[in-house]
Each structure stands twice: as structure tokens, then as C-alpha cells.
Amino acid sequence: MRTLLILLTVVEIVLLLGALAFYLNRIGASLRRTSSLLAKVGFGVRAIESHCAPIGPVVTTINGQLATISGALEGVAELATRAGDGAGVAGAGAGAGAGAGAVTGAGAGSVDGRGATPGVTPGAQQGPDAWGSPDV
């Protein structure tokens, strides 16, 4: 009886070691596949980095130009406000986009309540602009 128990214990240990070896082998194969895929991802990230490298200096230049434009637009807005206040223009537009020179006021039929449709200058030619894009 004792011999049988020893034999069954040895068989159980061999089966346990076999199962461990089998699953460790499967885990190793999965890790090798993951390593290969990570190498491809790393290659892709390096390619993206090299393609995006020129963006940094250009963005800095664009931000500087936009800051200049923003400062200029504040001055233009101030001049427009003064011109509108000085001329006493507070018209009420008669229809969509027909503000008849209205700078302020509640225009009947206007989209934004200012007597003009946003993006449409009264009397402006509709259609492609100087760059070929259509007016909004």
C-alpha cells in the first residue's frame, strides 16, 4: 500500500510539473508575440515623432502672429464702437441680413438680434471670395 501511495504521489508531481511547463511555454509564446507587437508600436511612435517634429517651431510662430492680430483686432473693434456711437446708428434691420448699415439694435428677422446675419456683410457680393471659398 505504501508503494502505491509513493507511486501516485510521483505521478501527481510529474503531472503538476508537466502542466506548469505547458502553461509556462504558452505564456512565453504570448510574451514573445507581445514583444514583437510592441516593437512595431515603438517604430510607429518614432515615425510619428519624426513627422511631427517640424510642428513645434511653426506653432510658436503662428501663436506670435495670432497675438499680433488679436491686438490689432482689439483696436479695430474700439474704432468700430466709436464710429458706431459717434454716428448714432442704431438701426433695425428689415429682414435676414438686410441691416441697412445697422451696427446695433434688434433687427426684425435677423439671426443674431443685431440686425444682420452673422458672417454676411450687408451689400457684400455673395459667392466665392478672393481665395475661392464660398461666403458663409
pLDDT digits (tens, 9 = 90+) for 60-108: 999 999 999 998 898 898 888 988 887 654 544 444 444 444 444 444 4
pTM for this one? 0.39
pLDDT value of residue 87: 60
Q: Are 83 and 89 in contact (CB under 8 A)?
A: no
Joined together, the cell numbers standing for residue 29 give 509564446
Residues 79 and 107: their CA atoms lie apart, in Å, by 23
Which of 11-20, 81-90, 97-106, 123-132 has maximum average pLDDT? 11-20
**One-letter amino acid identity for 29?**
A
Q: Are 91 and 100 in contact (CB under 8 A)?
A: yes
pLDDT digits (tens, 9 = 90+) for 24-71: 999 999 999 999 999 999 999 999 999 998 898 899 999 999 999 998
pLDDT value of residue 30: 97
Q: Give Cα separations from 51 to 38, 91, 107 (angstroms).
A: 20, 53, 50
Q: Are 88 and 111 in contact (CB under 8 A)?
A: no
Residues 95 and 104: their CA atoms lie apart, in Å, by 15
